[in-house]
Chains A and B, each alone.
Chain A
């Protein structure tokens, strides 16, 4: 029932924004993305299975919405490489909101990771999704989740130890 998910949606907004920001690296765009994803979720409330993780379901909708957004707005000649596209979107000119924030060493290290590693890192280590749940959100095999995640975390330790 939409009434039931409405309450959970509102409670989840801060975390949705956080994940959206990881994806698109622009706060205004992240907020648009969250709003669009909420609309989709409400329209498809029936496809959420009660008893499963609502947050993981929402993260997947949000991420699919982002990929759709990329497909709609990219100039012609776009490739399937979502990771690269996302990097481009985050380039200066889009208004790199994150630069305004005081970033700790760790935040900078996370920022420096490739998109595909950053998103899996956030889902598992900050949002506490299991590998299986993260694989569902990202629509990749669990082995891919593990290899990206391991690479991200090794890099993070290297970067923060060296600094």
Chain B
């Protein structure tokens, strides 16, 4: 009979009931033959019990009423939105006129329009304080566009004038691929979302002066999050899914 190597992983999987039958039978036999192996299996069962009881009896304080209230309010809001939006959104989804071209038309909810408007106001209101135009122009730099097609989320890239970090990648409801990123340049900092339609176009940007370096006010990330959510961004694409989507977009 061939030798079965009983690694910790195999013995643990046996203890957890995760082994296929032929291997499980071999482990069961080995346990009978060797008290050492039986002990290792028992230890794995024991560690599961310990963990379970530690979490059942300890650390968790009761859910605070505020959290219940906040989540219940979210649920009510989404139920209401869904009832209202179900009809028109369904029609839009089937209409090719809305499916291509401008991604904004597909952003059905009023809240997303508000998000873009607020961002614009943000530019306008603080324009005099720093060279905002050049920062916005920089977001559209060919180098940034090529990095957006290439870099995995979470990575920093050094650029001639600053540093960019891609935060996450999303597929919107209309199928377009968008990436959230941050640019830290001498002229200021920006949180932006770029979407790919033939090339990367900046869809939304929230900027702040250079002396805020390293710090993006929370309303900036709230705006980008709101935008993504209202544009029907699902969960972020990660690893293989992200790499695949980027490769497709680059074609």
CB-defined contacts of A17 to chain B, threshold 8 Å = 60, 63, 67
Given contacts A107-B59, A139-B238, contact A9 B71 (CB under 8 A): yes
User: Given contacts A76-B156, A76-B184, is CB(A156)–CB(B75) below 8 Å?
Assistant: no
Is the beta-carbon distance between B60 and A126 smaller than 8 angstroms?
no
Q: How far is the CA of A104 from the CA of B155 in the complex (A)?
A: 39
Using known A-B contacts A14-B60, A124-B16, determine if residue A2 contacts B235 with beta carbons closer than 8 Å. Answer: no
Whether A112 is near chain B, meaning CB under 8 Å from some CB there, is no
Q: How far is the CB of B176 from chain A (nearest CB, A)?
A: 17
Known: A47-B234, A68-B236. A154 touches B43 (CB 8 A): yes
Asked whether B22 is an interface residue with its Cβ less than 8 Å from the other chain, the reply is no
Docked CA distance A38–B78 (Å): 11
Contacts of B167 in A (CB 8 A): 68, 71-72
B214 at the interface (CB under 8 A from A): yes
Question: Chain A contacts of B67 at CB under 8 A?
Answer: 13, 17, 31, 34-35
Chain A residues contacting B82 (CB-CB under 8 Å) are: 1-3
Q: Which of B44-52, B116-124, B202-210 contacts A (4 or more CB under 8 A)?
A: B44-52
- Chain B interface size range: 35 or more
A122 within 8 A of B: yes
Q: How many Cβ-Cβ contacts under 8 Å join chain A to chain B? A: 157
A23 on the B face (CB < 8 A): no
User: Is B13 part of the binding interface, using a Cβ–Cβ cutoff of 8 Å?
Assistant: yes
CB pair A150–B71 under 8 Å, yes or no, is: no
Quick check: B64 and A126 within 8 Å, CB to CB?
A: no
B145 interface hit (Cβ, 8 Å): no
Secondary structure at the A interface, as helix, strand, loop or mixed, is helix
Cβ distance A85 to chain B, nearest Cβ, rounded Å: 10
Could you tell me if B44 and A153 are in contact, using CB atoms closer than 8 angstroms?
Answer: yes
Q: Does B90 contact A (CB under 8 A)?
A: no
Given A38, A77, A154, A156, which contacts B71 in the complex, CB threshold below 8 Å? A38
Q: Of B50, B53, B54, B221, which is in contact with the most chain A CB atoms at under 10 Å from its CB?
A: B54
A-B pairs with beta carbons under 8 Å apart, 15 shown = A3-B82, A10-B68, A34-B67, A40-B235, A64-B235, A71-B153, A72-B216, A76-B165, A76-B184, A101-B61, A107-B54, A125-B48, A126-B52, A146-B12, A152-B47
> Which A residues contact B (CB, under 8 angstroms)?
1-3, 6, 9-10, 13-14, 17-18, 21, 27, 31, 34-35, 38-40, 42-45, 47, 60-61, 64, 67-68, 71-72, 75-78, 80, 98, 101-104, 106-107, 110, 121-122, 124-126, 130-131, 139, 143, 146-147, 149-154, 156-157, 160
B-side residues, CB < 8 A to A, are: 7-9, 12-13, 16, 18, 43-44, 46-48, 50-64, 66-68, 70-72, 74-75, 78-79, 82, 153-156, 163, 165, 167-168, 184, 214, 216, 221, 229, 232, 234-236, 238-239
